[in-house]
Structure 1
């Protein structure tokens, strides 16, 4: 007896999964390209083959610039920071790109916290003697950013000779405005006289009556039209190839500030104080009534350095 034809149809419904936010260790979906690039750098990093590494480093640079969510955390857990330090110390064809990438990574606080353990401080200092101005520019930017809010990294960089290297660049390239500005900002941040990039500091070189002295004058825009932060950096030669560096930060109040408060005197200079609130504005007024000498500053650092 024959069997009737029977057709069996199976249906499958995929169970619904609970939605959850990716944990810190899970890559965000939009950062899959970043995850792949970081993995390739980690695998290929010890060989430092330019043709193979360059596209992956460019991918990381592009994504970090876009500030994609979770990208900084992926870089931290990827373990590529020591590889970038190795690339800098090797000073090969990837040095410019590596310095540019490290400078961009240094914008992220969660990443720059790992710079010290990864050896990026000494690695960046090692390329400050490079004849390539692009390398010098990006390395100085990275040093400025990594030391802005870290006393630990400031101490490390000072101990390893950051000041004489940065001063040497200032004296070697007096006509390179961009390089001059980043070196001056790096000097301020390494010395603990933090100058934030957001402050929009404008630098200019001013004449000095003292032989062998270079003076740089930096001004940040006025806060609410009332006051501006003023930074003076003086580099003085006191022996052949030996220099002292003096950094001072002042607060300057505009004439509109005094007019608003019924003052007849002209704009004056005062010891540094932040102008983040009304109470701090009062401190500036109190300083003015005491007639603090123009040369006095509550924030100043002096270094003696050998070039």
Structure 2
């Protein structure tokens, strides 16, 4: 029973006793996955989000199960908008320094889902240093494909691109042209059949501990499409804007759209960040 599980987590959660809490966390997780009507609202009303944050920060035996639950809850807008006040944002970011690959994957998935369509959550995560932590994972744990994919998707969503998991983007490492640079590119086919989306992510090293993250999104269209629409071009520049106080990254993100050849359109988003 969901109500009983939520009540038990609220009462027992502070002590984080694995044997007692685990079945209740599994019950909530199962209900959230089934997308039963009213489940999200019950979770919010129950007040268990701070307990989940405590479990993540504790890094105990319940952390992985908690991360899985938080990642599922992050799909629900009514729940994730309360993550900041409940301490789940800082708890998730604290997990990004661990070495457990599976735990990292679910924490990053939660961050990616939080930032998918919410500029408020994006700004909060940026201010709290999500980008340098994600970049650090890419550099610290290379060639972990599943982890790389979720980190790259999270970076795209933090930049405001809104890349859905259902897009089926396939990532692979590209060829680096400069020392200290990591290149990734992902392809996501469009259902209409006329175009595919190609995303290029570059992580460049400026100096000791200093990196820039550049994210470029190309729309690659078929020749038949461009025969009909190839004459249309657009140019627009978005100005720099301030992110406010942020100790581990520069205060700006640059968004730009440029004229490009007839075979593609290009939107560039650049993070400048200090690790």
Structure-2-length-normalised TM-score: 0.86
CA distance in structure 2 between the partners assigned to 1:48 and 1:185 by the alignment: 32
CA distance in structure 2 between the partners assigned to 1:105 and 1:35 by the alignment: 16
1:297 Cα offset (Å): 6.7
CA distance in structure 2 between the partners assigned to 1:207 and 1:165 by the alignment: 23
Number of the residue aligned with 1:111:
79
CA 148–167 in structure 1, closer or farther in 2 if over 3 Å, else same: same
The yes-or-no answer on 1:89 pairing with 2:35 is: no
1:201 Cα offset (Å): 1.3
Number of the residue aligned with 2:6:
38
Tell me if the contact between 1:158 and 1:191 (Cα under 8 Å) persists in the aligned partners.
no
Structure whose alpha-carbon radius of gyration is higher: 1
The structure 2 residue matched to 1:225, chosen from 178, 193, 197, is 193
Tell me if the contact between 2:219 and 2:266 (Cα under 8 Å) persists in the aligned partners.
no
- The count of residues paired between Structure 1 and Structure 2 equals 251
CA distance in structure 1 between the partners assigned to 2:78 and 2:231 by the alignment: 38
Note the 1:5-44 alignment, pairs <5 A. Answer: 33-44=1-12
Deviations 1:190-231 (A, max 9, x none): 122221112111111110221111111111112311012221
CA distance in structure 1 between the partners assigned to 2:55 and 2:177 by the alignment: 44
1:52 Cα offset (Å): 0.7
Give SS of 1:46's match: helix
Number of the residue aligned with 1:76:
44
Which structure is richer in relative contact order (CA contacts within 8 A, separation 6 or more)? Answer: 2
Number of the residue aligned with 2:259:
292
The yes-or-no answer on 1:174 pairing with 2:165 is: no
Note the 1:131-146 alignment, pairs <5 A. Answer: 131-146=99-114
CA distance in structure 2 between the partners assigned to 1:285 and 1:166 by the alignment: 39
5+ residue gaps, structure 1: 1-32, 262-281
Q: Which is richer in strand?
A: 2
Tell me if the contact between 2:190 and 2:196 (Cα under 8 Å) persists in the aligned partners.
yes
The structure 2 residue matched to 1:47, chosen from 2, 15, 33, is 15
5+ residue gaps, structure 2: 235-257
CA distance in structure 2 between the partners assigned to 1:135 and 1:197 by the alignment: 19
1:256 Cα offset (Å): 4.2
Moved over 6 A (4+): none
1:108 Cα offset (Å): 1.4
CA distance in structure 2 between the partners assigned to 1:172 and 1:217 by the alignment: 19
CA distance in structure 1 between the partners assigned to 2:71 and 2:82 by the alignment: 14
- Return 188-197 or 138-147, whichever deviates more: 188-197
Give SS of 2:25's match: helix
